[in-house]
Amino acid sequence: MSESRDPVEWYRRMRRLRRFEMRAAELVGDGEINGPVHEYIGEEAVAVGVCAALRADDVITSTHRGHGHILAKGGAPDRMFAELLGRESGYNRGRGGSMHIADFDLGIYGANGIVGAGAPMACGAAFTFKVRGEDRVAVPFFGDGAMNQGVLLESFNLAVILHLPVIFACENNGYAITSSIREMLGGDLARRAEGFGLPAQSVDGMDVCAVHAASAAAVERARAGGGPAFLEFRTARYSVHNIATGGRMRDNRSEETLAQARERDPIERLAGEITRGAGWEPGGRDAVDDEIEREIEGAVGFARNSPRPRAETALDYMYADTYPDFPAPGWEH
């Protein structure tokens, strides 16, 4: 998906993320989706605001909570639902499920079940851009929980010393599974990143305009050779960690705290700003909502009508059966 500075388009993209997740939750409830599903509802402004600052040829790495990032970078809802429903037409031919969706052509270098693991991959991509003299950037998304992973801190260091075009996008929703950041994380996230030499900023992650502005500035800098940056987006997930396990993964937030988070809803906020500002396209908000509804229902229908892999092919595509020559031709020892 390409760069956008149009608030109505941001609304459309956020609404797509929200409805995708709501529909996925229903399918989990109905038993049509098996395996873990980490819902992104409440955090839509982060994925949409960041990705609207990226070109189609920039790359992202994602997390276990990846649906939002993938959709915001242009992932197709029909192939995503097909993957969640375990169908042959899914992104991983139905063998990967929610946490392994990737599309290299769209610059989506994968959701990832290993917390923090996308960061070094993004550094690798950014190193390639730098060596080739390309003005592309790489954005690893990760959560507050990943800030305690060694590999993430090593990636900060690597990005700084190699001056890589990486924008570290930290989604601080205050929780890692059921553990509050207050009990688990020493110091301040942005100050921690600054300690590595990264320019760092803390941003209201419920405000897509603020997310986009901070991201666009960091991307522009990185493209021009200005090096990496760290952005903390303060956000909130409305649901439990993994909706497939239901109440067993409930954190200790009170109903009141959750209600307060919902009052800051990023989609309602943007909708209000559009109404008060430049206004809606012909047909208004309802027309966009209807368009998304048709898209999401069409995607669910596509997935349901797609064949499941045959049992005897379950292990196909799990392992590479050919390897590139190594050392690669031209490699100097």
The footprint of ligand TPP (CB under 6 A) covers 64-65, 113-115, 142-146, 171, 173, 175-177, 241
Closer Cβ to ligand TPP, 53 or 111, answer by number: 111
The yes or no reply on residue 68 touching Mg ion (CB under 5 A) is: no
Select the residue whose beta carbon is closest to ligand TPP and give its number.
143
Residues in region 150-189 near Mg ion by CB under 5 A: 173, 175
String marking each residue 98-137 x if it binds Mg ion according to CB under 5 A: ----------------------------------------
| C-alpha to C-alpha distance for 182 and 313, rounded to whole angstroms | 46
CA distances in angstroms from 26 to 22, 70, 98, 120, 300, listed in the order given: 6, 20, 15, 35, 11
Closer Cβ to ligand TPP, 178 or 305, answer by number: 178
Q: Report the nearest approach of ligand TPP to the CB of residue 306 (Å).
A: 28
Q: Report the nearest approach of Mg ion to the CB of residue 183 (Å).
A: 13
The yes or no reply on residue 239 touching Mg ion (CB under 5 A) is: no
The yes or no reply on residue 232 touching Mg ion (CB under 5 A) is: no
Residues 6+ apart with CB under 8 A from 51: 1, 13, 60, 69, 72, 73
115's contact among Mg ion, ligand TPP, none, with CB below 5 to 8 A by partner kind, is ligand TPP
- How far from each other are the two terminal CA atoms of the chain, in whole angstroms? 40
Select the residue whose beta carbon is closest to Mg ion and give its number.
143
With contacts defined by CB under 5 A, how many residues of the chain interact with Mg ion?
Answer: 5
Q: Report the nearest approach of ligand TPP to the CB of residue 116 (Å).
A: 6
The yes or no reply on residue 144 touching Mg ion (CB under 5 A) is: yes
| C-alpha to C-alpha distance for 257 and 88, rounded to whole angstroms | 41
Partnered with residue 51 across adjacent β-strands are none
Give me the residues that bind Mg ion (CB under 5 A), please: 143-145, 173, 175
